[in-house]
Amino acid sequence: SQDTISVVFSTTKAVAALCIAVLFDRGRLRYDDLVSRHWPAFAKNGKANITVEWVMSHMSGLYYFDEPITKEIAANHDFMRKLIENETPKFPPGTSFGYHALAFGWLVDQIVRHTDEKKRGIGQFLREEITEPNGMDVYCAL
């Protein structure tokens, strides 16, 4: 049915990138900004020099999290924020590529939450700023 929700895995990365591009277009962030400029607590544990660009291009070194993520944890945005703040990059940021298969969505969600003037998560931002105004039916669980 047309109302069936389907998991699309990594194609969501394009949707997340669109949200970041809208925030860039509105002057809320720059790709060369340090993530910690908008989210100071992110700078802990070797993450002080990570840029928005490095997150978006999978060069932040945060391509997985040390703590196992359950459904309950995944739905708790405050817990995920703290988890990311306490993570240590798996390689020196900006020096290599590590595909952020699962971590990407949570990283971008927190960047959106910290740069959007209304502090919305990526799902709400996408719906209110991109999909609904353009008559699109796209759902993002974050």
**Can you list the domains of the chain with their CATH numbers?**
9-134 (3.40.710.10)
Over residues 47-51, mean pLDDT: 98
In this predicted structure, the answer to whether residue 48 has a pLDDT above a threshold of 80 is yes
Per-residue tokens: 92: 């020196």
Angle at 80 between CA 96 and CA 60, to 5 degrees: 10
| Phi, psi of 51, rounded to the nearest 5 degrees | -100, 165
At 4 the pLDDT is 73
In this predicted structure, the answer to whether residue 8 has a pLDDT above a threshold of 70 is no
- Tens digit of each residue's pLDDT (9 = 90 or more) over 60-114: 999 999 999 998 988 899 999 999 999 999 999 999 999 888 899 999 999 999 9
